[in-house]
Amino acid sequence: MTREFTRRPASLILSTLLLSAASLFPAASATAAAPVQTPVVTGLPDFTDLIDKVGPAVVNIRTTERVTRGQGAPGEEEMQEFLRRFFGGQIPRGRRGVPGQGGQGGASPEEQVTRGVGSGFIISNDGYVLTNAHVVEGADEVTVTLTDRREFKAKVLGADRRSDVALLKLSANNLPYLRTGDSSKIRVGEWVVAIGSPFNLDNTVTAGIISAKSRDTGEYLPLIQSDVAVNPGNSGGPLINMRGEVIGINSQIATLSGAYNGISFAVPIDEVIRVSDQLKTTGKVTRGRLGVQISEVTRDVAESLGLGKARGAEVSMVEAGGPAEKGGIKVGDIILKFNGQPIDTTRDLPRLVGATKVGTRASVTVWRRGAQLDVPVTIVELQDEKTPAARPTPKKPAPGAAPNALGLAVADIPAAQRGELGVDGGVLVENVDGIAATAGIQVGDVISQVGNTPVTGAAQFNALVGKLDPKKPVALLVRRENVTQYVVVKPRQ
Catalytic residues: 134, 164, 235
- For the chain, the three-class secondary structure string (H helix, E strand, C coil) is CCCCCCCCCCCCCCCCCCCCCCCCCCCCCCCCCCCCCCCCCCCCCCCHHHHHHHHHHEEEEEEEEEECCCCCCCCCHHHHHHHHHHHCCCCCCCCCCCCCCCCCCCCCCCEEEEEEEEEEEECCCCCEEEECHHHHCCCCEEEEECCCCCEEEEEEEEEECCCCEEEEECCCCCCCCCEECCHHHCCCCCEEEEEECHHHCCCEEEEEEEEEEEEECCCCCEEEEECCCCCCCCCCCEEEECCCEEEEEEEEECCCCCCCCCCEEEEEHHHHHHHHHHHHHHCCCCCEECCEEEEECCHHHHHHCCCCCCCCEEEEEECCCCHHHHHCCCCCCEEEEECCEECCCCCHHHHHHHCCCCCCEEEEEEEECCEEEEEEEECEECCCCCCCCCCCCCCCCCCCCCCCCCCEEEEECCHHHHHHHCCCCCEEEEEECHHHHHHCCCCCCEEEEECCEECCCHHHHHHHHHCCCCCCCEEEEEEECCEEEEEEECCCC
Q: What angle do CA 305, 442, 460 make, to 5 degrees?
A: 55
120 is in an annotated binding site: no
CB 441 within 8 A of CB 469: no
| 134 is annotated as contributing to ligand binding | yes
Q: Which of 2, 4, 8, 488 is nearest to 292 (CA)?
A: 8
Contacts of residue 104, Cβ cutoff 8 Å, sequence gap at least 6 = 73, 74, 97
- In one letter, which amino acid is 157? L
> Is 164 a known ligand-binding residue?
yes
Which is it for strands 334-338 and 165-169: parallel, antiparallel or unpaired? unpaired
Using CA atoms, how far apart are residues 493 and 478, in angstroms rounded to an integer?
23
234 belongs to an annotated ligand binding site: yes
Closest CA to 404 of 426, 435, 425, 428: 435
Counting Cβ atoms within 10 Å, is residue 159 exposed (0-12), middle (13-18) or buried (19+)? buried
233 has binding-site annotation: yes
Which of these, 155, 83, 149, 162, lies nearest to 115 by C-alpha position?
Answer: 83
Annotated binding site for substrate: which residue ranges?
Answer: 134, 164, 233-235
